[in-house]
Amino acid sequence: MTQAFVYDAVRTTFGRFDGALAKVRPDDLGATVLRALAERSPALDTAVVDEVVFGLANGAGEDNRNVGRMAALLAGYPVTVPGSTVNRLCGSSLDAAMSASRAIECGDANVVVAGGVESMTRAPWVLPKPDRAFPARDVTAVSTTLGWRLVNPAMPKEWTVSLGESNEQLQQEFGISRERQDEFAARSHRLAHEAWEAGFYDDLTVPVAELTRDEGIRPDTGTDKLAKLKPSFRPDGTITAGNASPLNDGASAVLLGSGGAAAVLGRSPVARIAGRGAAALEPQRFGYAPVEAANRALERAGIGWADVGAVELNEAFAVQSLACLDAWKVDPDIVNVRGGAIAIGHPLGASGGRILGTLTKVLREGGHRWGVAAICIGVGQGLAVVLENVG
């Protein structure tokens, strides 16, 4: 079977909700990274791209018309390059990369561009269609920015609690203190700031709307400041705006291909897709789902946690991140060493591509052979990919 490799990865700088990227359409964000990916491989004729697979969580607004295809057309890719959009909520762009790697491995494709996009700022309010024409009652507009909306009444109530309440339940289950969560969040900001200062992200990002760095990073954030924030979901809770990921806008893209694709791409691969894993739990326990997803990916790669030199775990909430690390029993010092989503941001459909690209570079710079990229997903799912460094 053909093997699938990562050749390159790039993302936009991530903007804060109603921040620097608020006026940029999501299809334009997607086009930005697709265009940048092509420009970074001058030998690449985009006509040889077999597929563009993009991830997206919302899709209720300007991104509604198959944003993967729209972004490819806006980026100037030939009309003959097919495009599709996948939705696995927060895991959408990692799912896109996994799907792309499968297509390469089974011989259906030689070069695939995967990625994802989200503008949480521009996610619209929606009105459900009424049961009959011209209702006399008021109609409520529903925000599509994040979380459950237009919930089916047949769903058990415990499944459809808010994302925050779900993670407060995880906190109770595992006894992870507010102090640990705040320390984890402060570390995320510190490491992300240090990474930007050291130039780590310079060749992994492309600026948009004059935003040259991730907008949400706060270099002065410390545990003393975080400790003063009020709980967001329960009066006596532990989750705050400071130890959870914010709402963001951004896009990411990953160039994947077979080993033989090096000839048409004009560059060498940097990592091999060595294992993939998906897992699911009760919807409210979504934050813990990466545990089994990563374990499955490692088993399929034929390695164990002792072999792993770097982990990129999307920090949806500090509490769920810590629960996963505790379950894996990994050294926290190998996790998110260049900062995580609490600082960098979590534009839902783009985050999987971000962690995959970051992991590729962390492996290369650190000289590690094996790495894991993992992400939790609303409605009780998790995804993970094992990379082998070949750069």
Q: Which residues carry out catalysis? A: 90, 346, 376
Under 8 Å between Cβ of 270 and 358: no
Element (H, E) at 100: helix 92-105
Q: How far, in Å, CA of 93 to CA of 234, rounded?
A: 31
Query: Rg of the chain over CA atoms, in angstroms?
Result: 20
CA dihedral of residues 215, 374, 318, 322 (deg, nearest 10): -150
Half-sphere exposure of 184 (CA within 13 A, CB side): 31
Question: Both tokens of residue 275?
Answer: 């294992």
Q: How far, in Å, CA of 68 to CA of 86, rounded?
A: 9
Tell me which residue of 101, 116, 117 sits closest to 50, measured CA to CA. Answer: 101
List, in order, residues 6 or more apart from 42 with CB less than 8 Å away: 266
The 3-state DSSP class for residue 160 equals: coil
